[in-house]
Amino acid sequence: MTQQTFDIGLVGYGEVGKIFARELKGRSGGRVSAWDLKFAEAATREAERAQARGDGIEDCNSAEQLCARSGLIMSAVTASNTLGVAQEVARQIRPGTLFLDLNSASPGTKAQCAELIEAAGGHYVEAGVMTSVPPYGIRVPMLLGGAKAAELAAQLEAWGMDATVVAEEVGVASAIKMCRSVMIKGLEALVIESYTTARAYGVEERMIPTLYETFPGMDWHKLGAYFFSRVAQHGKRRAEEMRESANTVAEAGFTPFMTAAIADKHDWVARQSGAGVFAGIAKDATWQDYADRLLAARQS
């Protein structure tokens, strides 16, 4: 399989879709196409399609067109759209097509997606993308699961990707990913809440050094800036992921008290961002810059 030529189709041309499409073009030996709802919306159609074409990506008019021309379909949408994409693709997919689900969703959601794709004659492989994509590009570490996971992993590695097979059954990779997300997104939410509150009381210069003492291997100021910036930019997407993480906890038979609260915090930051609280903030802004914007919005 490692020497085969593939026509690749990306469902979702957001941050992750754009990165994967650009970097896979020329590596697969075939064409790379994309379909996104923004290709059809009047407000975004021209700009999004122009960007795709500028990147050498063929912009499709529909999911049906993308399925007709793709031997490997990658789904890279927000967590809440994971199942919807699988339902749409299952109506159009050609038998024998590989479907790689990159989305952050619970084991239960991934199992539903797998059932749909497999029933339509496709081959479903789940991926747990284990960290933020932009710093790594297609080298982002991924865990794969599914009957065709090993076969696909060999092909992805031939293209320079970092894919590790963890199971032949669907659900294991997503469980690992979702449990990790509870910790990582939870830490983001805790830092934002703790730091902003400390700033409000004027005690951050005494509080943060105690974190360095307890966890000396972590740069708490640098982490703070990174966490604030990522949640301010992608809070809505992160909140959706955390709701899928909450589903993961619930599927295990537990009430997701903490995970649900993390989702709410990310959603709250997303609303602040949507209201313009962080408008014009510098790319190299400190965590204090973000916290001050939140404090100012509280007082206005």
Q: What is the pLDDT of residue 300?
A: 60
H or E stretch at 163: strand 162-167
Report the C-alpha dihedral over residues 90, 94, 97, 102, rounded to 10 degrees: -30
Q: What is the pLDDT of residue 27?
A: 87
User: Facing residues of 70 across strands?
Assistant: none
The encoded tokens of residue 21 equal: 């499409």
Q: What is the pLDDT of residue 222?
A: 97
Which of these, 80, 72, 62, lies nearest to 96 by C-alpha position?
Answer: 72
Q: What is the pLDDT of residue 29?
A: 84
User: Facing residues of 129 across strands?
Assistant: 142
- Summarize pLDDT for 171-181 with one digit per residue, the tens: 999 999 999 99
Do strands 6-11 and 123-129 pair parallel, antiparallel, or not at all (unpaired)? unpaired
Let me know how long the chain is. Answer: 300
Q: How far is CA 90 from CA 97, 121, 182, in A?
A: 11, 8, 30
Inter-axis angle of helices 204-214 and 220-251, nearest 10 = 70
H or E stretch at 116: helix 107-119
* Mean pLDDT score across all residues of the chain: 96
Q: What is the pLDDT of residue 2?
A: 44
66, 80 Cβ separation under 8 angstroms: no
- Summarize pLDDT for 84-101 with one digit per residue, the tens: 999 999 999 999 999 999
Fold classification of 174-299 (topology level): N-(1-d-carboxylethyl)-l-norvaline Dehydrogenase; domain 2 (1.10.1040)
Q: Can you give the residue ranges of every domain in the chain?
A: 6-168, 174-299
Residue keyed to tokens 């499709």: 60
- Give yes or no for residue 59 having a pLDDT over 70: yes
Euclidean distance between CA atoms 115 and 137, whole angstroms? 29
- Mean pLDDT in residue range 16-33: 92
Euclidean distance between CA atoms 209 and 278, whole angstroms? 26
- Give yes or no for residue 299 having a pLDDT over 90: no
Q: What is the pLDDT of residue 28?
A: 85
Residue 167, by phi and psi: left (phi above 0), alpha (psi -120 to 50) or beta? Answer: beta
Superfamily of domain 6-168: NAD(P)-binding Rossmann-like Domain (3.40.50.720)
- Give yes or no for residue 185 having a pLDDT over 60: yes
Split at pLDDT 50, 70, 90, the class of 197 is very high
173, 152 Cβ separation under 8 angstroms: no
49, 41 Cβ separation under 8 angstroms: no
- Give yes or no for residue 1 having a pLDDT over 50: no
- Rounded to whole angstroms, the maximal C-alpha distance in the chain is 62
- Summarize pLDDT for 115-172 with one digit per residue, the tens: 999 999 999 999 999 999 999 999 999 999 999 999 999 999 999 999 999 999 999 9
Euclidean distance between CA atoms 295 and 275, whole angstroms? 14
- Mean pLDDT in residue range 178-186: 97
Split at pLDDT 50, 70, 90, the class of 82 is very high
- Give yes or no for residue 229 having a pLDDT over 50: yes
Which of these, 173, 282, 185, lies nearest to 241 by C-alpha position?
Answer: 185
